[in-house]
Amino acid sequence: MRIAASHLANLLEFSNSLGINNHRLESGFLSNHDPVKLGIEDNISEAQYGSVLKELITITNDPFLGLHYGCYMNIKAMGLIYNLSKSATDCQQVILFLKEFLENTFSAFELKIKYGKTDITIELQCTIPDKTIKQHLLDASLSILYRELKLIANNRCKINVCFPNAAIEEYKKMLGKDVKKATSHLLIFNRDMLNNVLNPQNMSKLSELLPAYLSMIDRSKNTNRFPAQVRKMVLNMCSPDIPGLQEVASQFCMSQRSFQRKLTDNNTSFREITDGVKRDLSKYLRKGNRLKTQDIALLLGYSESSAYLHAAKKWETII
């Protein structure tokens, strides 16, 4: 069974962002490989990947680990989507590219596409026999697919995402109101979406922000300091908009109050961390004077240029 080493590398990055020492995950489970030296062309076995994931589930004791991992993978997945968009002209091509990529790099997965009279249903299946591992893997992959299709599709297109889990509220909290309960992992949308051109506004936004996010993630240091872990989590969860307090707190299996209290104990706040991310993005976008102030304001989520300029002036004072 083919599982690209990049999937393992992403899982280990996720655990590191949670503040987990990856030595415990790596030792004893990857005796035949050095994870640091694994290249994109390398493969690992289903047993090796499953052992690392199962240990991570045990350490975190998170019943929604797959969902949270899927939401963490936003930036990496958007990089894939952006590259695919360069050779695709409509949503149908991107869906087929995603199907091919997933099945070629993680052969335990299969995307079944069913064409109805008005709707199209994509069912995500996994052949791994361990029910716990399968559930988390399907949750993660469906979350990624849903977010990426939302990104490329026209804003008028509605996509329903379905999970076979009774505790559906956590999925709604992380993914939004279009989450439904079903007997399998499904994406359902209108057939008209297939021929829609890719969302030009989102693609433009992604082309500007993606390099900045990836650069900031690369510069992030591995540390056991909680604020640094939160910042790294925020950067990876950007879609490309910065995630909210509720979503990030859920990644650490904390209530919002406990999450804020822990940040306060570390002499910071969630607002300070996200403001720092916006400040660094602003510095990146202002280089070379390529973009107008109004464009930067919109990219950073400000409805008015004046609000952005006010924030930028405050950031300069802090610096």
Residue 263 confidence (pLDDT): 96
Dump pLDDT digits (tens) for 241-264: 899 999 999 999 999 999 999 999
User: At which residue do the structure tokens 């379905």 appear?
Assistant: 162
Residue 141 confidence (pLDDT): 94
- What the chain holds in terms of domains, given with CATH numbers, is 3-195 (3.90.1520), 200-318 (1.10.10)
H helical segments located in 27-182 = 46-60, 65-72, 74-85, 91-105, 131-152, 169-175
- Whether residue 316 has pLDDT greater than 80: no
- Secondary structure letter of residue 117 according to DSSP: S
- Whether residue 319 has pLDDT greater than 60: no
Residue 30 confidence (pLDDT): 54
Q: By C-alpha distance, which of 210, 187, 200, 191 is closest to 89?
A: 200
Residue 227 confidence (pLDDT): 93
How distant, in Å, are the alpha carbons of 51, 260, 263 from that of 47? 6, 38, 37
Q: By C-alpha distance, which of 135, 173, 149 is closest to 77?
A: 149
Residue 57 confidence (pLDDT): 93
Q: CA angle 16-162-57, nearest 5°?
A: 25
Which of 15-29, 33-47, 72-86, 228-242 bottoms out in mean pLDDT, i.e. has the lowest? Answer: 33-47
d(Cα 211, Cα 275) in Å, to the nearest integer?
19
pLDDT band, residue 294 (cuts 50/70/90): confident
Letter string b/e over residues 112-135, b meaning 16 or more CB atoms within 10 A of that residue's CB: eeeeeeeebbbbbebebeeeebbb
Dump pLDDT digits (tens) for 156-209: 788 999 999 888 999 999 999 899 999 999 999 998 888 777 777 888 888 888
Q: By C-alpha distance, which of 13, 25, 14, 32 is closest to 52?
A: 25
Dump pLDDT digits (tens) for 29-56: 555 555 445 555 688 888 889 989 999 9
Q: What's the pTM value of the predicted model, to 2 decimals?
A: 0.88
